[in-house]
Chain A
C-alpha cells in the first residue's frame, strides 16, 4: 500500500470511529432515560371500616408519579372489593374499551360504562358491550395492622 492510501485509510477510519462513538453516546442519551418512570408503590387507599363486604367502593387516589425530572400528581379512581374477611382486591375504574370511567350500579350489581354501554360484573369480567377484556386488576392488601387497605399503583 502506498503512503497516500495508508494516510487516507487512517483519516477515514479515525473519522468513522469518532463519528460512531459520538453517535452511540448521543443515541443512548436520546433513547434511554432509565429513571423516567418509577416503579409502582403501595399507596394507602382507605380504612377497612369504610368498606361493605362484596360491594365495590370507589376511591379517588392522588398519586405522585415521577415523569423524568417532573413530579406529576395524577388522580386515579380504583374500586376496592372486600370479601368480608381477609381477602381484598382492587379494580381500575378505567373502562378497557376507550378509557371512560365506569360506575358501580347498585341495582344491577354491575359496573357500567357511561360511554358505550360496556357492562362488567363485580369481579371485573365483561358481561356485555364492546370492552375487549376485563377491568384491570390492581394489587391490593391489608396493612399489617389490618386496619388499612393498601393498593399498588
Chain B
C-alpha cells in the first residue's frame, strides 16, 4: 500500500515535470477505425525490424574496422564468439526480412488503395524508405571485404556507369578513387553507418507523422462500430506478429550469417559475382540486354518500374479503394510482381555456384595429410611457438603462404629444424587446406579419402580434375567409377599402356606403394 502510494507519487512528480502521460497518450491511444486487422501490422513489423537493424549495426561498429587490411579480419573476429555470430547473423538476415516486409507492406497498400488522397505524400515517403533500404543493402554488402562483397560491388559500380551522360561521374563518386579499394570502403562505410541511418530516422519519423496526420486508411469498406484505441487492441496484434517475425529471424541468426568467403582478391579472374538474393532479379535482367542494350536492363526497366510506383496515386485516381473494382492497377502490379519473382528464380538457378559454397575439395582434404607429414604442428599448436592452424586469425595471401610453406626460415626466422621439403604441388595443397581451414572447421572425412586426397594432390591434380578442381590435360575423374572398375583403374595407374596402348599418362607403378595404389584406385572406383 505504502509502495503503491509512493509509486503514484513518483508518477505525479514525473508527470508534473515532464508531462510524459501526454506523450504516452499521443503515442498509444490513437483511435483506429473498426475492422483494422492483421493486414495493418506490417508497419509495426518494419519499425521493429529497423530498430533491431539499427541496434545490431551500432554494436557491430564496436569491432569493425573499415580498411582493406583489417575489415575481413575484424569480421572474422566478430564471428569468432557466439554473441558476435548472433549479432552479425541478426544484422545479415535482418536486411532480407526488411525487404520482404517492405514488399508485403507495399502490396497491402496497393491492394487496399491506401495511397489515394489524402495519403499521396505518405506513399511517396514510403517509396523513399524502400530506396533507402536498398541503398543500405548495397553499401553494407561491401563491408565484409570478402570475395562475394568485392565482386558484387564491381557489378554495382559497372551498373552505375550506365547512367546516361554522367556514367563515369557516378562510378567515380561511388568508388571514391580510381579503383575499388580503401577509399571505396571508407566511403561506403560512412554512408552505411552515418548518412543513411540519419536519413532513415528522418524519413521514418516523417512517414509515421504523415500516417498519424491522416489516420490509417483502415479497411476498404468502412464498417459500423466505435473507434478503438491502438493500445492494447491493435497493439496486441502488432506484438504477436512482431514476436513471430523476430523469433523466426533469431532462428536464422542462431548459427550466424553464411560463412565469409575468401578475402577480396581483385586479381582473381575466375570468381563469378553473385549479389544478395533480392537483387538477383535485376542481375538476371542485365543478362538479357548485352552490349549497348545494357542500359535498358540496368537503367530503363528499373527506372520505369520506379516511375510507375511514384506516379501510382495519380494513375489510379478516383475514390474507389475496393481492389475488385480496380482491376487495371491490380493486374499491372501482379504482372510486375510475377516478373520480379520469375527473374529472381531464374537468377537463382542461373548463378553458378562458386567452389566456396560446396564441400571440401579433394585437394584441400589431401592438404591436411601433407600438413601432418610436414610437421607444421611442431610450431603451429596450442603450446607451440605460433598459432595453431585452426586459430590463425590472419589470412595471408597465397604467395606468402606458399613462401612460408616452402621455406619457413625466411618468414619465421629462428626456427631450428626446417620442415621436410615440399614440391610445388604439395605446397599448393597445403595452402588450399590452410585457406579453407581459416573459414570452415575441418569436417569428419574418412581416412581412406584423406589418403586418396594426398595422393591426388601430389600426383594427379596437375592433369586431372575432380569436383572442378585440377588440371585439364587428362580426363575429368569426378565420376570415373561409373566407367571403370577398381581393378582396371589400378592397372591404368600402375601402367597406363597396358590398358590403352596410346595412353600419354606416365606410369605410377614405381612411384606409389601397393597400398597407395589400392587406396587411390578404390577411391576413384567409388566416384560415380
Mark A residues whose CB is within 8 Å of B: 4, 7-8, 10-11, 14-15, 18, 21-22, 25-26, 28-30, 32-35, 38, 41-44, 66, 68-71, 148
User: Are B84 and A7 in touch, CB under 8 angstroms?
Assistant: no
CA gap between A54 and B355 in the complex, in Å: 60
Q: Given A8-B232, A69-B70, A69-B76 in contact, is the A33-B242 Cβ separation under 8 Å?
A: no
Q: Given A22-B55, A69-B76 in contact, is the A29-B232 Cβ separation under 8 Å?
A: no
CA gap between A86 and B80 in the complex, in Å: 42
**Chain B residues whose C-beta falls within 8 Å of the C-beta of A69 in the assembled complex:** 63, 65, 70, 73-74, 76-77, 393
**Chain B residues whose C-beta falls within 8 Å of the C-beta of A15 in the assembled complex:** 239
**Chain B residues whose C-beta falls within 8 Å of the C-beta of A11 in the assembled complex:** 231-232, 235-236, 239
CA gap between A38 and B52 in the complex, in Å: 32
User: Are B70 and A43 in touch, CB under 8 angstroms?
Assistant: no
**Chain A residues whose C-beta falls within 8 Å of the C-beta of B81 in the assembled complex:** 29, 32-35
Question: Nearest Cβ in chain B — how far from A33, in angstroms?
Answer: 6
User: Are B384 and A41 in touch, CB under 8 angstroms?
Assistant: yes
Question: Nearest Cβ in chain A — how far from B263, in angstroms?
Answer: 13
Number of B interface residues at 8 Å Cβ cutoff, please give it. 41
Q: Given A22-B52, A41-B384, A44-B414 in contact, is the A30-B239 Cβ separation under 8 Å?
A: no
**Chain B residues whose C-beta falls within 8 Å of the C-beta of A29 in the assembled complex:** 59, 62, 81, 83-84, 86-87
CA gap between A4 and B391 in the complex, in Å: 55
User: Are A71 and B394 in touch, CB under 8 angstroms?
Assistant: yes
B59 in complex: contacting residue of A18, A26, A68, CB < 8 Å: A26
User: Are A35 and B80 in touch, CB under 8 angstroms?
Assistant: yes
**Chain A residues whose C-beta falls within 8 Å of the C-beta of B391 in the assembled complex:** 38
**Chain B residues whose C-beta falls within 8 Å of the C-beta of A30 in the assembled complex:** 59, 62
A-B interface contact total, Cβ < 8 Å: 89
Most buried by B among A29, A33, A148: A29
User: Are B232 and A25 in touch, CB under 8 angstroms?
Assistant: no
16 additional A-B residue pairs with CB within 8 Å, beyond A11-B239, A26-B83, A41-B385: A7-B232, A8-B232, A11-B231, A11-B236, A14-B242, A18-B242, A18-B243, A25-B87, A29-B83, A30-B59, A33-B63, A33-B77, A38-B391, A69-B76, A69-B77, A70-B73
Q: Which of B58-83 contact A (CB under 8 A)?
A: 59, 62-63, 65, 70, 73-74, 76-77, 80-83
**Chain B residues whose C-beta falls within 8 Å of the C-beta of A25 in the assembled complex:** 83, 86-87, 90
**Chain A residues whose C-beta falls within 8 Å of the C-beta of B333 in the assembled complex:** none
User: Are A35 and B83 in touch, CB under 8 angstroms?
Assistant: no
Q: List 8 A-B contacts (CB under 8 A).
A: A4-B233, A7-B235, A11-B232, A14-B242, A15-B239, A26-B59, A29-B83, A30-B59
Mark B residues whose CB is within 8 Å of A: 48, 52, 55-56, 59, 62-63, 65, 70, 73-74, 76-77, 80-84, 86-87, 90, 231-233, 235-236, 239-240, 242-243, 246, 250, 383-385, 387, 391, 393-394, 414, 416
**Chain A residues whose C-beta falls within 8 Å of the C-beta of B233 in the assembled complex:** 4, 7
User: Are B383 and A41 in touch, CB under 8 angstroms?
Assistant: yes
User: Are B236 and A10 in touch, CB under 8 angstroms?
Assistant: yes
Most buried by A among B232, B235, B383: B232
Question: Nearest Cβ in chain A — how far from B233, in angstroms?
Answer: 7
**Chain A residues whose C-beta falls within 8 Å of the C-beta of B414 in the assembled complex:** 44
A14 in complex: contacting residue of B80, B83, B231, B243, CB < 8 Å: B243
B231 in complex: contacting residue of A8, A66, A70, CB < 8 Å: A8
**Chain A residues whose C-beta falls within 8 Å of the C-beta of B387 in the assembled complex:** 38, 66
CA gap between A8 and B234 in the complex, in Å: 10
CA gap between A22 and B52 in the complex, in Å: 8
Q: Given A28-B83, A32-B83 in contact, is the A18-B77 Cβ separation under 8 Å?
A: no
Question: Nearest Cβ in chain B — how far from A153, in angstroms?
Answer: 11
**Chain A residues whose C-beta falls within 8 Å of the C-beta of B416 in the assembled complex:** 148
CA gap between A41 and B81 in the complex, in Å: 22
**Chain B residues whose C-beta falls within 8 Å of the C-beta of A70 in the assembled complex:** 70, 73
CA gap between A69 and B69 in the complex, in Å: 11
**Chain B residues whose C-beta falls within 8 Å of the C-beta of A18 in the assembled complex:** 48, 242-243, 246
User: Are A44 and B385 in touch, CB under 8 angstroms?
Assistant: yes
CA gap between A71 and B391 in the complex, in Å: 13
CA gap between A33 and B56 in the complex, in Å: 16
Query: What residue of chain A has the Cβ atom nearest to residue B82's Cβ?
Result: A28
**Chain B residues whose C-beta falls within 8 Å of the C-beta of A38 in the assembled complex:** 387, 391
Most buried by A among B65, B77, B83, B243: B83
User: Are A4 and B232 in touch, CB under 8 angstroms?
Assistant: yes
Most buried by B among A35, A43, A44, A69: A69
CA gap between A38 and B242 in the complex, in Å: 41
Across the A-B interface, give the 9 residue pairs with the lowest CB-CB distance, nearest first.
A69-B77, A29-B83, A28-B83, A7-B232, A8-B232, A69-B73, A7-B236, A69-B74, A29-B87
User: Are B385 and A43 in touch, CB under 8 angstroms?
Assistant: yes
Query: What residue of chain B has the Cβ atom nearest to residue A17's Cβ?
Result: B243
Query: What residue of chain B has the Cβ atom nearest to residue A31's Cβ?
Result: B83
CA gap between A92 and B82 in the complex, in Å: 36
CA gap between A26 and B83 in the complex, in Å: 7
**Chain A residues whose C-beta falls within 8 Å of the C-beta of B393 in the assembled complex:** 35, 66, 69, 71
Question: Nearest Cβ in chain A — how far from B139, in angstroms?
Answer: 21
Query: What residue of chain B has the Cβ atom nearest to residue A24's Cβ?
Result: B83
Question: Nearest Cβ in chain A — how far from B357, in angstroms?
Answer: 24
**Chain B residues whose C-beta falls within 8 Å of the C-beta of A43 in the assembled complex:** 385
**Chain A residues whose C-beta falls within 8 Å of the C-beta of B384 in the assembled complex:** 41
**Chain B residues whose C-beta falls within 8 Å of the C-beta of A22 in the assembled complex:** 52, 55
Question: Nearest Cβ in chain A — how far from B281, in angstroms?
Answer: 32
Question: Nearest Cβ in chain B — how far from A69, in angstroms?
Answer: 4
Question: Nearest Cβ in chain B — how far from A1, in angstroms?
Answer: 12
Question: Nearest Cβ in chain B — how far from A125, in angstroms?
Answer: 31
CA gap between A68 and B77 in the complex, in Å: 7
Question: Nearest Cβ in chain A — how far from B461, in angstroms?
Answer: 32
Question: Nearest Cβ in chain A — how far from B43, in angstroms?
Answer: 16
CA gap between A14 and B239 in the complex, in Å: 7
